[in-house]
Chain A
Amino acid sequence: GAVVSQHPSWVICKSGTSVKIECRSLDFQATTMFWYRQFPKQSLMLMATSNEGSKATYEQGVEKDKFLINHASLTLSTLTVTSAHPEDSSFYICSARGGLDYNEQFFGPGTRLTVL
């Protein structure tokens, strides 16, 4: 099956710093990538949808200047949390869609972000 990787798996940073999370589709071309955030004991919350080569579409309530998304190629999307604060601590998960089965989304393993 299709494989999606994320890096880093976990990160701890100081308040005010920026953190970049990478999402890669390893064996298929991802026409669309999704970024989710999940707080403890809650379901996935879609943050934004990005198509290769175009600007990301952000969900209501998600600050696009704070959560910068770049989808420069068909295999790589990045999420940068700028000026991170403790309330940004969460589990960030990317998923990718593409390949033979357009409907299925393949999830990365997630990135645990802790902001001190």
Chain B
Amino acid sequence: GQNIDQPTEMTATEGAIVQINCTYQTSGFNGLFWYQQHAGEAPTFLSYNVLDGLEEKGRFSSFLSRSKGYSYLLLKELQMKDSASYLCAFMDSNYQLIWGAGTKLIIKP
């Protein structure tokens, strides 16, 4: 079967670093996506990993280990505007996205 799991909520301090983990199980895999979604808005694309390793993009980095079914999103130098939900999703063998429930990230001053 397929499943994907991420924490429901996390809290971090402005200026700090936070890591949001995502684990998944699937027989067919075509990549792992991270999206950011602010309340009342549609998701916006953050990153895509299809090979093992770390992809860095400014303050955000994403890591993938296919053998472990594990990914994380790393956010550095947190800003108040980073308060949002972060959705991980993997693409299955049918090129369909399977979504996690999202992690609500709360940034405190």
Which A residues are within 8 Å of any B CB, using their own CB?
34, 42-44, 46, 49, 91, 93, 97, 102-110, 112
Residues of A within 8 A of B100 (CB): 43
Contacts of A108 in B (CB 8 A): 42
Report whether B95 and A42 are in contact in the complex, using a CB–CB cutoff of 8 Å: no
Shortest beta-carbon distance from B95 to chain A in Å: 7
Q: Which residues of A contact B97 (CB under 8 A)?
A: 34, 46, 105
Other-chain contact of A93, B30, B42, B45 (Cβ < 8 Å): B42
Q: How many residues on B have C-beta within 8 angstroms of the other chain's C-beta atoms?
A: 21
B residues sitting closer than 8 Å to A (CB atoms) are 30-31, 33, 35, 40-45, 48, 50, 87, 91, 95-97, 99-102
Q: Do residues B96 and A49 form an inter-chain contact, with CB atoms below 8 A?
A: yes
Nearest-CB distance from A116 to chain B (Å)? 19
Do A43 and B101 contact each other (CB < 8 Å), given the known contacts A49-B96, A102-B95, A104-B48? yes
